[in-house]
């Protein structure tokens, strides 16, 4: 297929990648860094590849302003792998700090604002080793009592005194709910966190990583993301881990903590420079190319502005559609995501009509997640403002009928 025949991909992940990166990847598949060996064929221990990994790490550090207190690590297993890994590593850390606590007194705080944080909390319950406390649940603040359509008010957040971890998902990809980055009623209530010691704050940034700066990054214990939304293909998981969360998981297990598989231990990743076992070489390569391109365009601040413009345009046309009684946004004002905008098309058969009209214009990936239905527009970094304009024009045409 020629580049001209490519569709505009609004899919939620795996998702659009810049064409220049795909072309560069094709070259790297034949000959990586002048070695005469393709990137999918070269040893992950070769000096060329290890240099590439170290450079990727420093590009991320630079663009997100990650302080020296935090490691940048690469692993596999996706966001779901981290649902387990954060629990195991943070329970191990807590066990070493508070070995005397009984299981029911070892608490893991979860903020549940959508399908992904709900799943993360379920995994924590499944693994055991501590009790899950739901700090706030978005469903309780929705009109029907069962929809994830809002960020709960700050007063609803009641954190435990000394939890093993405090978990939140910054952007809920399925439900389109996101914490605001500017201070205000839908920002993460950092001011309500426990005041003592280093806060074990864990954030799932899977669907907004490197789309804009991370508020209060240095106050987080762990931030993680799968690459397959904004910065690469599936297969690579990126972690930002504060030094105090890199613990001897085996020493903790001897004290009774749930054992941590060796590849999930953050200490293993730190000690091996993220190369304990064979990493996802190709995914790392493509992510590196994306991030180099990001830097050449102006880095995270540039993408923040473009992403803001894109989201504002889609929310504006959604408002027009609501005024005409054709569309209905699913998320409360102030809680809407920049990355995944979700709405219903009103009227019998209208959604199918909307989707087939979009398809005819090569606007793809718009169907909402199978669990919630409706329409979802994902506007990750590789979707340009011009491409977004095409979708906005189509929506305007559709609601004008
Ligand atoms: C916010 C969020 N967290 C976690 C996941 C799960 O990630 P993975 O499919 O990489 O396991 C996803 C996947 O879409 C996600 O959007």
- Give the CATH number, domain containing residue 195: 3.40.640.10
What per-residue confidence (pLDDT) applies to 1?
Answer: 53
pLDDT tens-place string over residues 70-91:
999 999 999 999 999 999 999 9
What per-residue confidence (pLDDT) applies to 401?
Answer: 64
Per DSSP, the residues of 144-207 read: TSS----PPPGGG----SS-SEEEEESEETTTTEE-BSSSSTTB--GGGS--SSS--EEEE-TT
37 belongs to a structural domain: no
What per-residue confidence (pLDDT) applies to 195?
Answer: 87
Residues 314 and 261 in one domain: no
Residues 70 and 86 in one domain: yes
Residues 271 and 322 in one domain: no
The answer to whether the CB of 76 is under 6 A from ligand 1 is no
Residues 347 and 218 in one domain: no
What per-residue confidence (pLDDT) applies to 2?
Answer: 61
Give the CA count within 13 Å in the CB-facing half-sphere of 388: 25
Residues 136 and 277 in one domain: yes
281-297 vs 19-30: helix crossing angle, rounded to 10 = 140
Residues 73 and 195 in one domain: yes
Q: What atom in ligand 1 is closest to the CA of residue 234?
A: 10
Residues 197 and 54 in one domain: yes
Catalytic residue among 109, 118, 137, 229: 229
The whole-angstrom separation of Cα 22 and Cα 28 is: 10
The whole-angstrom separation of Cα 373 and Cα 368 is: 5
In the block, which residue shows the tokens 């102006």? 298
Residue with CA at minimum distance from ligand 1 atom 2: 206
What's phi and psi for 341, nearest 5 deg? -105, 125
Q: Give the list of residues 6+ apart from residue 144 with CB closer than 8 angstroms, or none.
A: none
According to DSSP, the residues that pair with 238 across neighbouring strands are 74, 225
Q: How far is the CA of 82 from the centre of ligand 1 (A)?
A: 9
Residues 114 and 214 in one domain: yes
Give the domain extent around 71: 47-293
356 belongs to a structural domain: yes
What per-residue confidence (pLDDT) applies to 197?
Answer: 85
The whole-angstrom separation of Cα 88 and Cα 37 is: 38
236 belongs to a structural domain: yes
pLDDT tens-place string over residues 18-45:
999 999 999 999 999 999 999 999 999 9
Residues 324 and 279 in one domain: no
Residues 289 and 335 in one domain: no
Cβ-contact 145, 139 below 8 angstroms: yes
Closest CA to 89 of 124, 113, 133: 124
Q: Give the list of residues 6+ apart from residue 241 with CB closer than 8 angstroms, or none.
A: 70, 71, 73, 221, 222, 266, 270
Which one of 238, 261, 293 terminates a domain? Answer: 293
Residue with CA at minimum distance from ligand 1 atom 16: 173
Q: Write out residues in the chain with pLDDT < 70, as ranges.
A: 1-4, 401
| Paired tokens of 235 | 């297969």
- C-alpha distances in Å from residue 97, one per residue of 16, 162, 244, 245, 328: 43, 11, 11, 11, 49
Q: Give the list of residues 6+ apart from residue 192 with CB closer than 8 angstroms, or none.
A: 154, 157, 159
Q: Give the three-class secondary structure for 65.
A: coil
Residues 267 and 316 in one domain: no
Is 229 a residue of the active site? yes
- Give the CATH number, domain containing residue 319: 3.90.1150.10
Structural domain count, the chain: 2
Run of H or E including 70: strand 70-75
């Amino acid at each position: 297929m020629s580049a001209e025949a490519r569709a505009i991909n609004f899919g939620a992940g795996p998702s659009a990648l810049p064409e220049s990166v795909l072309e560069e990847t094709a070259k790297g598949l034949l000959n990586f860094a002048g070695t005469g060996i393709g990137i999918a064929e070269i040893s992950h221990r070769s000096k060329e590849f290890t240099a590439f990994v170290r450079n990727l790490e420093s590009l991320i550090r630079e663009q997100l302003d990650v302080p020296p207190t935090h490691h940048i690590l690469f692993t596999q297993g996706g966001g779901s792998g981290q649902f387990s890994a954060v629990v195991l590593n943070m329970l191990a850390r807590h066990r070493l700090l508070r070995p005397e606590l009984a299981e029911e007194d070892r608490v893991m705080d979860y903020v549940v604002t959508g399908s992904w944080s709900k799943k993360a909390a379920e995994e924590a319950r499944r693994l055991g080793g501590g009790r899950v406390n739901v700090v706030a649940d978005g469903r309780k603040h929705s009109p029907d009592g069962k929809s994830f359509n809002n960020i709960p008010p700050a007063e609803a957040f009641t954190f435990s005194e000394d939890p093993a971890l405090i978990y939140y998902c910054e952007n809920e990809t399925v439900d389109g709910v996101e914490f605001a980055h500017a201070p205000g009623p839908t920002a993460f209530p950092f001011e309500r966190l426990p005041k003592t010691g280093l806060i074990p704050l864990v954030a799932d940034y899977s669907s907004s990583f490197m789309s804009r700066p991370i508020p209060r990054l240095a106050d987080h214990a762990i931030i993680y993301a799968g690459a397959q939304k904004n910065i690469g293909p599936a297969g690579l998981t990126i972690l930002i881990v504060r030094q105090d969360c890199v613990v001897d998981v085996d020493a903790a297990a001897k004290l009774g903590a749930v054992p941590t598989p060796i590849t999930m231990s953050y200490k293993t990743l730190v000690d091996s420079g993220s190369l304990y076992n064979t990493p996802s070489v190709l995914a790392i390569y493509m992510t590196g190319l994306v991030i180099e391109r990001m830097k050449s365009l102006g880095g995270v601040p540039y993408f923040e502005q473009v992403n803001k413009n894109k989201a504002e345009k889609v929310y504006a046309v959604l408002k027009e559609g609501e005024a005409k009684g054709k569309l209905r946004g699913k998320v409360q004002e102030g809680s809407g995501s920049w990355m995944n905008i979700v709405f219903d098309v009103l009227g019998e058969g209208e959604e199918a009509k909307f989707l087939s009209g979009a398809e005819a214009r090569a606007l793809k990936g718009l169907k909402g997640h199978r669990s919630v239905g409706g329409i979802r527009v994902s506007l990750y970094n590789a979707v340009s403002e011009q491409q977004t304009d095409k979708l906005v024009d189509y929506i305007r045409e559709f609601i004008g009928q």
